[in-house]
Structure 1
Amino acid sequence: MKYLEYLKFPVASTSYIVLFFLLIFIAVLFIFTVAFFRSLYHKRKYKLSFMKEAFEHGLTEREAEILWQYSLKEGRDPFLTLEFKAAFEKVVDLYLKEDPSADENIVSQMREKLGFDVVPYFAPLVSTKDIELFQPAKVEIEEGYLAEIVLFDKDERYMYWAFVDSFPKNRIKKGDKITVTFLRKGDAIYKFSVPVEEVYEEKDRLMIKLPHTFNLVRYQRRNYARVEVDILCKLGVLTENGWNWYEGRLKDISMGGARICFPYGDERPQISVLSEVKLEFFLEGRPFSLNGVVVNEDLKEKMLCVGVEFRDVKESDQQFIYKFVKKEQKRLAELYVRSRE
């Protein structure tokens, strides 16, 4: 009898252990189930918030769904595609590459609705899609061999460049890797390298079809940030007989220099590169009289524009101009953001 009672004890103990682990399993399963459904709820709520904001930007349900789906594939916060051009371009690029039925028109429509179709001069280019039509450039076909080209057309996948002068077709072929360099006015020098997709002729002009790329190398041309302005000014040019003064318009300014334009009639202002000058103007009510030297000139019909590099500027004047430039850049950025809302 005692022996049988002894044998029963392990059986009861084993049952308790099994029951204990079963309860733990049920508890863990319950916790994971709750967490799973909570995650689904938050994800659905997050998506509904995203869709609402996308609709407020004027996107259709299909357009919003594309940005949502491919943002997640790209590992990005979908909301960023509605606010930042760089994020948007990366996401739609993935959509165009992965979806066999991708619609380029939808991408163009989304870009326009979100205000990403125009890049302000103070914002750097994100990809070659941002290059404006008829942008001139130099293309390096092979080491040391350069040619002039211009952007003739572009779509969501390719850009189409035309050679400015006659160019031998046999010197370039599909698959050749070429380097394109161009100067974006008011910004910087850009360079990119891509393989040639196609070489063809159109209206007696040689054309090359190139794929878009995000790999743009940007070379800043100026040491100081500058902003565009339109301020009445006077420029004095030092001559043997003293100062000759001309009235013009200050068109942009930085801590290091400025650009001034002078409209004229029959007689062009006697201003040339390396001329020693004195620039006088008012900036936010503060008078400035700065010494400088002309470093470049741009002569157009009845209009002369010169670039002046400041010399021996007081630190207080430099700091005032620096703060003005920063404040203007911030103001322009805020205007740009509001224009998209």
Structure 2
Amino acid sequence: MDERVNIVVDAFRTTIEHVNLIAVFIVVLIFVLIAFFLFFWEKFEEFISQRYMKRLFFRNGEAYGLTRRELEILWEYSHKTHKDPFLVLEYKAPFEKVVQAYIEDNPDFDEKLIKNMRKKLGFDKIPPFMPLISTKDIDLFQTGNFMYQNRTYPVALYDKDEKYMYWYLIDQKPPFPFKEGDNVKIKFIREDDAIYLIDGNIEEIFEEDGKYIIKIPHTFKFLQIQRRKDFRVKKEIPLILETYDINGNKVKKEFKTTDISIDGVGFCIPIKEARNLKMNIGAEINLVLEFEDAQIPVQAVIKNIREMGKNICYGAEFKDLKGENKNFIIKFVQAEQQKLLKEYKRLKLFE
């Protein structure tokens, strides 16, 4: 009897263990299926989202006149370089990085196609006040100095393509102390921008139409020395000036700015009025800038004075500008700069 009971108990225990194993297996299987479903669903959503974004990107690109082939290249290499494809259509810097990746991957790249894309998007030239993105942006006939071993030679940019720039050695004949493979520097000035210093190796030296040309690869890396502290926007903003007249009396005048930067403002005063004011270089003045949605009081120092027609024009540098006032002016100047860029790009598209 006891033996039969033991057999039944053992059988029951074995059944319970099997049931537990099956239950555990089912629970594990359910979790695996849920995880697989969530993973698949996430990938499916990502796939649907990418398809939608690609269609939207193509629609935006076609509005610029870009072909499907051009858009396929920009879409593919935007992802390869981890750039936002929509920003590639709007801004030159990411566009040029994407194009460079395409060039590096395709030795037989289509140069005409790249030039067409750049022109359609308004990136074939940049405004004179904006810094260069790469040496591809240097204007043809830009003059400068070619430097090698403490010697300088006048040069001008003779030509350029997607891989190289070609500098003409002005009135120079061989023999030259430099040769192919040598590391050289080129220095030039963009009047409204900065001084640039390029470093590169000579790829080739050749003669064309009696001119001696130096071929150097393009680069995104160069030294840029700003000629002024900050970008200036030409903008008329109502201005209240507080200063002293030649008799030492405090006076208040209302004018308009000619330009503004994060660093200071420019303004002009009729010569007759200016003669009665104590406005020498170094003089400290109080200003109130009357923007549409704010009045910003600032202290400033006169840094330069010049006569222009019937006016005396002053350049004033802000003094101890801090906090909210400084942030307001920074945001204002940046917003105006973006407006200028958009307008420049719009005009380029309709040329």
- Is this a same-fold pair by TM over 0.5? yes
Q: Report the counterpart of residue 171 of structure 2 in structure 1.
A: 165
Equivalence for 1:133: 140
- 8 Å Cα contact 1:169-1:206 kept in structure 2: no
Q: Which amino acid aligns with 1:204?
A: G
The aligned residue for residue 25 of structure 2 is 18
Residue in structure 2 matched with residue 189 of structure 1 by the alignment: 195
Does residue 1:78 correspond to 2:85, yes or no? yes
The change in CA–CA distance for 1:121 and 1:10 in structure 2 (over 3 A counts) is same
Question: What's the TM-score, normalizing by structure 1?
Answer: 0.72
Give the direction of change, closer, same or farther, for the CA distance of 1:96–1:169 in structure 2 (3 Å limit). Answer: farther
Change in Cα spacing, 1:332 to 1:205, as seen in structure 2 (3 Å) is same
TM-score of the superposed pair, with normalisation by structure 2: 0.70
- Tell me, yes or no, if the aligned pair for 2:57 and 2:85 is still in contact at 8 Å: yes
Cα gap change, 1:84 to 1:136, in 2 (>3 Å):
same
Correspondence 1:28-43 to 2 at 5 A: 28-43=35-50
For the 8 Å contact 2:103–2:109, the answer to whether it is kept is yes
Deviation at 1:61? Answer: 0.5
What displacement does 1:87 show?
0.6
Unaligned runs of 5+ in 2: 1-6, 236-257, 289-299, 302-313, 317-328
Match of residue 344, structure 2, among 322, 330, 336: 336
**TM-aligned CA distance change 1:149 to 1:16, over 3 Å:** same
Alpha-carbon shift at residue 100 of structure 1 (Å): 3.1
Distance 1:224 1:87 in 2: 23
Q: Report the counterpart of residue 186 of structure 2 in structure 1.
A: 180
The equivalent of 1:300 in structure 2 is none
CA separation in 1, counterparts of 2:13 and 2:259?
98
Matched, 1:314 2:285: yes
- 1:256 CA drift (Å): 7.7
User: Is the Cα–Cα contact under 8 Å of residues 223 and 256 in structure 1 kept in the other structure?
Assistant: no
Matched, 1:94 2:101: yes
Change (3 A) 1:45 1:118: same
8 Å contact kept, 1:224–1:256: no
CA RMSD of aligned residues (A): 3.1
Q: Structure 2 vs 1, CA of residues 193 and 257 (structure 1 numbering), >3 Å: closer, same or farther?
A: farther
CA–CA separation in structure 2 for the residues paired with 1:256 and 1:36: 54
Query: Cα distance 1:256–1:18, how it changes in 2: closer, same or farther (>3 A)?
Result: closer
- Which of these two proteins has the greater Rg computed from alpha carbons? 2
For the residue of structure 1 that corresponds to 2:93, the secondary structure is helix
> Any conservation in 1 of the 2:158–2:168 contact (CA below 8 Å)?
yes
Residue 316 of structure 1 aligns to a residue whose secondary structure is: strand
Contact conserved, 1:135 with 1:151, CA < 8 A, in 2?
yes
Q: Secondary structure at the match of 1:171?
A: coil
SS at match of 1:50: helix
Closer, same or farther: CA 59–172 of 1 in aligned 2, 3 Å: same
**CA displacement at 1:170 relative to structure 2:** 3.9
| Contact 1:126/1:216 (<8 A) preserved | no
Unaligned runs of 5+ in 1: 230-251, 259-278, 294-309
Higher strand share: 1
Judged with a 3 Å threshold, the aligned counterparts in structure 2 of structure 1 residues 174 and 257 are, in CA distance, closer, same or farther, namely: farther
Alpha-carbon distance in 2 for matches of 1:339, 1:120: 11
SS at match of 2:172: coil
Deviations 1:191-224 (A, max 9, x none): 1101111111122222110110011221112245
Instruction: Tell me the CA shift for residue 165 of structure 1.
Output: 2.1
**Counterpart of 2:123 in 1: which secondary structure?**
coil
Counterpart AA for 1:316 = L
Q: Pick from 111, 118, 133: which aligns with 2:118?
A: 111
